[in-house]
Amino acid sequence: MSLLSDLGQRLRALVFRRRLERELTEEMAFHLERETAARIQAGADPDRARREAVRAFGGQAAWREATRDARGTRYLDDLGRDLRHALRGLRRSPGFTATVILTLGLGIGANTAMFNVVDRLMFRPLAYLRDPGSVHRVYWQQLDRGAVATYMSTPYARYLDLERWTTSFARMAGFSERDLAVGEGETARERRVGVVSASYFDFFDARPALGRFFSHDEDLPPRGAAVAVLSHAFWQSEFGGRDVLDQVLQVGDTRARIIGVAPRGFAGVNDANPPALWLPITTFAGSPGDRGASDARLFATSYQSSWMHIMVRRRPGVSREEAEADATQALAQSWRAAVAQDPRTPTPEQADPRVVLSSVRPGAGPVPALEARTATWVLAVAAIVLLIALANVANLSLGRALERQRETSLRLALGVSRWRLVRHALAESLLLALLGGVAALLVAHWAGAAIRRMLIATAAGVPVWADGRTLGVTLVLAIVTGVVVGVVPTLVSGRGDLASSLRGGARGGVSGGHRLRGSLLVIQAALSVMLLIGAALFVRSLQAVRALPMGYEPERVLLVNRILRGQVFQDSTAAQMRRLLMETARGIPGVESVAWMSSAPFVSTSNTDLFVPGVDSVAQLGTFTFQATTPDYFRTMGTRILRGRGLADADQRGAPAVAGVSESMARVLWPTEDAIGRCFRMRSDTMPCTTVVGIAEDMVQRELTGTQRFHYYVSIDQYTRTWGNGMLVRLRGDPVVEAEGVRRTLQRVMPGASYVTVLPLQTIVGDARRSWRLGATMFTAFGVLALVVAAVGLYGIISYRVTQRLHELGVRAALGARHTDLLRLVVGQSLRLAVAGVVVGMLLALLTSRWVEPLLFRQSGTDPVVYGAVSGLMLVVAVVASVVPARRAARVDPNAALRAEGA
Amino acid sequence: MPPESSDLLQGTLEMLVLKALTLEPMHGWGIGHRIGQLSRDALEVQQGSLYPALQRMLRKGWITSEWRVTEHNRRARYYRLTRAGRRQLETEAAAWARASAAVNVILRARPAEG
């Protein structure tokens, strides 16, 4: 029989229940009538006939049950009844219900929100991606000074090499992203642009909403065609969904012709920050841009700059290991080609380069970004909070079950099956859990938006409850919660001697239940302590990061960047432009000083080969980066010059080459003598020696937590081989306020279509500190949440115990115990639980400190100050939570307590 | 006094109901009566188990029902065989024949001599 019609029957039986019941009654009446008539015909008298007919029919109730049973709705009927009963029971104890729903809402909601984030960062398959199981991102591994380093970027030449020399891949695609100026004149705006190979779109089952995607011959080196594919969102917002095919759009340096529009929701590989449009990768790479024309022509053969990523699809039947091995041998060949081009490159034997094929999402690959790692940690924390919430709710449930001990025993004595009781308890807890699940979705919606903004750049995206996977997880959590919370208390309270519990009321409570509640509480306290210790460690980390001396004062500095858009400068015109910009900037009122820079802190670094007389290999000592800059650099940055002098106006082209060095650099290169007066050669052994004229304090240029601060400073008039130049402007006032004014003034002197962007340096520095801020915020929020939940639990159980022991306390009071004695009794109980929790919590924290330490900054994972402070806090909270019940105990009236039987 | 009735297994009852309905649609009481008739009163259907069986068979789609007016102008629920029900009857009848033949063989078997 078809399952569908069976189901249909069952549903119909459910919906039209009353009518069916009536029909049943009618049918039975008819039957009895006919049976009676038959018997009368056979000779019996009417009354007797009727009686016998009824008897022959059998028990009516049982028949009704059986028929209903046969209809197949029995279980649903019973469930409906159980749920209604449960609802009534919950309405009668609003305090319990509200507490449980709130606790579950917070616990499950936190997990839902974090799951959403982790899912987006690590697991969710990309939209439209065909057969995700066979698609990988290529990661590169090599030995770097003895340790294995993993990267994602590679030169374009390597992409071609891999295509040429591997056989395991059905398809390969190269891609990258840039922020480019899109549009012209007033409407020009920086937008995220994806630069992708023509094969990129073949990975997806996406059909263009308009036009087409790139064809293979539009994406060939040395320079691809000037065409663009728009994203759906960009097409709608900028062009209103009109027909835009063959229109021209200025993208960076390229005047691109629009040839197609991607379908709705297509974002390619980076769906956290979807691009506005795509260009062929060779078009972007082959355009002069800011790099200078010579580089653009070489991008397809040079191994110098690693800037793009590769995605591959394995051929069917090829395993990942086989594909990796194939790619690794191709990589070795590619390395040998690179060594042939530049003999200074380490050989494949030295560097042992390998290919690793892993998840397309970097968050789940071998080098997850900070956000992914933090999100995973926070998910673990959220899971712990859920455990605490569960323990709390189980505790409350258990308390309630113990209160109803007598009623339960009575029902068992009357013959209700244990299974029925469990079913009732399950119905109640499932109902609670589902309500908690709804509350959780609300919590996840509000909190989730905030969390997503912190961890995934764009807050855009589907709201939590419209997201199928997240909903599914919430549902599962709610059901599991319901089962666990419902089953445990009933099993515990159903044990024990029926007779004594019927007789003894509250005094005869099952002691096993108490011990379980106590241990649940200790678990809660322990987990809260662990989370609070984590929170405190992160907060102290953050403080250490903030207190770190930067070596400069970024608060009032603006970073000015030039976007050239096709304007090509020769060395001479570049210098003119630079001087013009600096003069204009100096002329702005409120500007204290101006300096040029070749690389901005945390954004980029410039380095070249360094040769120091007396030192065999400078590269072995570390990474040395330089700034090509102007005389006012140190003053603009706010860096102190420790000895000697900074760069001066006299250090022009033609004058002797001079440089300033950082203190660490001076110490490492010339440990036994004064660095001033020493010299070194830049770029090659044959260059003239640059003399050190000054030593500046160490600056934080690359990473906050790095220990290397090897920087040197040369005059840009003397050393011009730099790119990505920009300007630093120190203001007397607030950079956020004055930024726009500065930008407009400078924009007026920019030639052609080029323009400037202005950014307060503080923003970049703040971004660099983000990870610690993130950890501190998340852990503190969850730690406090955990503490609140545990405190509520502690209050609940102490209060209950006091109520239970009212009789005993009354006896004590009658026997002469004073108020303070009773107070001490109750608070002591609370403290004992708390101490147990603190001890276990500290042990747990010690055990897991090993994993937390890498995320901290100059903070030990086992800092005794932190441990001590958190323990103290927990004990104080325990005392506070027990104050109200303790006062109730102290004020107990011996007479009333002795007389009362107890709840 | 009706003759000794034997307990009917659930599956057997359903088979008999199907057979009873092959002639014409009938209401619940009539089905029980007819089975008794057809078996020459050897079988008496336990009325309490008839209606649950009818419900099950309704759910499985072997019969359908509709309310009609009887010759005595009373409203009654009539059950009718469906095509699926007819097929089921054939299947079950064949199975029953095989099963009862096998049981008969076992019952007739005599212990080996010596």
The predicted structure's pLDDT at residue B6: 45
Are the C-beta atoms of A841 and A528 separated by less than 8 Å?
Answer: yes
The predicted structure's pLDDT at residue A459: 46
Q: Which of A9, A33, A58 sits opposite B59 (nearest CB)?
A: A9
Please report, to the nearest 10 degrees, the dihedral formed by the alpha carbons of residues B49, B55, B61, B65 taken in order: 110
Distance of CA A411 to the CA centre of its chain: 50
Q: Which helix (H) or strand (E) holds A833?
A: helix A819-852
Q: Does A29 touch chain B (CB under 8 A)?
A: no
- Minimal CA separation from A9 to chain B, in Å: 6
Q: Which helix (H) or strand (E) holds A626?
A: strand A625-629
Task: Pick the residue of B13, B17, B29 with the most A CBs within 10 A to test the interface with A by mutation.
Answer: B29
Q: If DSSP codes are grouped into helix, strand and coil, which group holds residue A124?
A: coil
The predicted structure's pLDDT at residue A395: 81
Q: A 594-653 residues with CB below 8 A of B?
A: none
Report phi then psi at A840, rounded to 5. Answer: -60, -40
CB contact under 8 A, A30 and B74: yes
Cα distance between the two ends of chain A: 56
Closest CA to A280 of A205, A190, A203, A176: A176
Are the C-beta atoms of A879 and A827 separated by less than 8 Å?
Answer: yes
The total of other beta-carbon atoms located within 10 Å of residue A91's CB is 9
- Minimal CA separation from A168 to chain B, in Å: 55
Q: Which helix (H) or strand (E) holds A411?
A: helix A405-413
Q: If DSSP codes are grouped into helix, strand and coil, which group holds residue A859?
A: coil
**Which amino acid is it at A279?**
L
CB contact under 8 A, B76 and A9: no
The predicted structure's pLDDT at residue A509: 47
- Minimal CA separation from A39 to chain B, in Å: 11
ipTM associated with this complex: 0.82
Do the bridges between strand A658-662 and strand A135-144 make them parallel or antiparallel, or are there none, so unpaired?
unpaired
Distance of CA A11 to the CA centre of its chain: 43
Considering only CB atoms, which chain A residues are within 8 Å of B84? 1
Report phi then psi at A358, rounded to 5. Answer: -140, -165
Q: A222: cis peptide before it, omega within 30°?
A: yes
Q: If DSSP codes are grouped into helix, strand and coil, which group holds residue A32?
A: helix
Gap between the Cα atoms of A114 and A372, Å rounded: 11
Q: If DSSP codes are grouped into helix, strand and coil, which group holds residue A156?
A: helix
Gap between the Cα atoms of A762 and A85, Å rounded: 61
Q: A 31-50 residues with CB below 8 A of B?
A: 31, 33-35, 38
Mean pLDDT of chain B: 81
CB contact under 8 A, A27 and B56: no
CB contact under 8 A, B51 and A27: yes
Gap between the Cα atoms of A600 and A112, Å rounded: 39
CB contact under 8 A, B59 and A35: no
CB contact under 8 A, A63 and B27: no
Cα distance between the two ends of chain B: 47
- Of B42 and A102, the structure prediction assigns the larger pLDDT to A102
CB contact under 8 A, A31 and B75: no
- Minimal CA separation from A23 to chain B, in Å: 9
The answer for residues whose C-beta is within 8 angstroms of residue A553's C-beta and 6 or more apart is A637, A638
Q: Does A553 touch chain B (CB under 8 A)?
A: no
- Minimal CA separation from B71 to chain A, in Å: 12
The predicted structure's pLDDT at residue B81: 92
What is the sign of the dihedral through the CA atoms of A586, A588, A593 and A597? negative
CB contact under 8 A, B49 and A66: yes
CB contact under 8 A, B51 and A63: yes
Q: Which of B52, B76, B84 sits opposite A30 (nearest CB)?
A: B76
Gap between the Cα atoms of A634 and A646, Å rounded: 7
Q: Which helix (H) or strand (E) holds A250?
A: strand A248-251
Gap between the Cα atoms of A404 and A414, Å rounded: 15
**Chain A CA closest to residue B77:** A27
Q: Which of A5, A27, A66 sits opposite B61 (nearest CB)?
A: A5
User: Per 3-state DSSP, what percentage of chain A is helix, strand, and coil (rounded to 5)?
Assistant: 55, 15, 30
- Minimal CA separation from B111 to chain A, in Å: 43
Q: Which helix (H) or strand (E) holds A664?
A: helix A663-669
Report chain B residues touching chain A, CB-CB < 8 A: 27-30, 33, 46-49, 51-53, 55-56, 58-62, 67, 74-77, 84
Closest CA to A63 of B59, B46, B17: B46
Are the C-beta atoms of A740 and A565 separated by less than 8 Å?
Answer: no
Q: Does A736 touch chain B (CB under 8 A)?
A: no
Q: Which residue has the tokens 């590989």?
A: A269
Do the bridges between strand A277-280 and strand A189-196 make them parallel or antiparallel, or are there none, so unpaired?
parallel
Burial of A220 (0-12, 13-18, 19+ CB in 10 A): middle
Considering only CB atoms, which chain A residues are within 8 Å of B75? 26, 30
- Minimal CA separation from B68 to chain A, in Å: 12
Gap between the Cα atoms of A27 and B76, Å rounded: 7
Considering only CB atoms, which chain A residues are within 8 Å of B76? 27, 30
CB contact under 8 A, B59 and A72: yes
Gap between the Cα atoms of A286 and A297, Å rounded: 6
CB contact under 8 A, A57 and B28: no
Gap between the Cα atoms of A692 and A678, Å rounded: 6
Report phi then psi at A374, rounded to 5. Answer: -60, -45
Distances (CA, A) of A473 to A110, A390, A468, B5, B63: 12, 16, 9, 58, 43
Tokens of A529: 């302590």
**Chain A CA closest to residue B60:** A1
Q: Which helix (H) or strand (E) holds A680?
A: strand A679-682
CB contact under 8 A, A27 and B49: no
Burial of A614 (0-12, 13-18, 19+ CB in 10 A): exposed
The predicted structure's pLDDT at residue A835: 92
Residues composing chain B:
114
Considering only CB atoms, which chain A residues are within 8 Å of B26? none
- Minimal CA separation from A443 to chain B, in Å: 44
The predicted structure's pLDDT at residue A211: 92
Considering only CB atoms, which chain B residues are within 8 Å of A72? 59
Q: What's the predicted TM-score (pTM) here?
A: 0.68
Report phi then psi at A361, rounded to 5. Answer: -80, 125
Q: Which residues share a beta bridge with A559?
A: A728, A759
Are the C-beta atoms of B88 and B18 separated by less than 8 Å?
Answer: yes
**Chain B CA closest to residue A7:** B59
Are the C-beta atoms of A786 and A385 separated by less than 8 Å?
Answer: yes
Closest CA to A550 of A358, A359, A769: A769
Gap between the Cα atoms of A142 and A122, Å rounded: 24
- Minimal CA separation from A18 to chain B, in Å: 16
CB contact under 8 A, A70 and B61: no
Q: Cα A397–A401–A405 angle (5° rounding)?
A: 170
Q: Does A59 touch chain B (CB under 8 A)?
A: yes
Tokens of A496: 């024990």
Tokens of B32: 């029980």
- Minimal CA separation from A16 to chain B, in Å: 15
Considering only CB atoms, which chain A residues are within 8 Å of B46? 58
Q: Which residue has the tokens 């649940």?
A: A520
Are the C-beta atoms of A384 and A530 separated by less than 8 Å?
Answer: yes
Residues of chain A where predicted confidence (pLDDT) is lower than 70: 1-16, 58-63, 65-75, 185-187, 288-296, 455-466, 490-513, 564-572, 720-724, 753, 897-898, 900-903
**Strand arrangement, sheet containing A557-563:** A591-597, A726-731, A557-563, A755-760
Are the C-beta atoms of A622 and A643 separated by less than 8 Å?
Answer: no
Distances (CA, A) of A532 to A156, A439, A526, A836, A869: 48, 25, 10, 16, 10
**Chain A CA closest to residue B78:** A27
CB contact under 8 A, B52 and A62: no
Gap between the Cα atoms of A476 and A120, Å rounded: 19
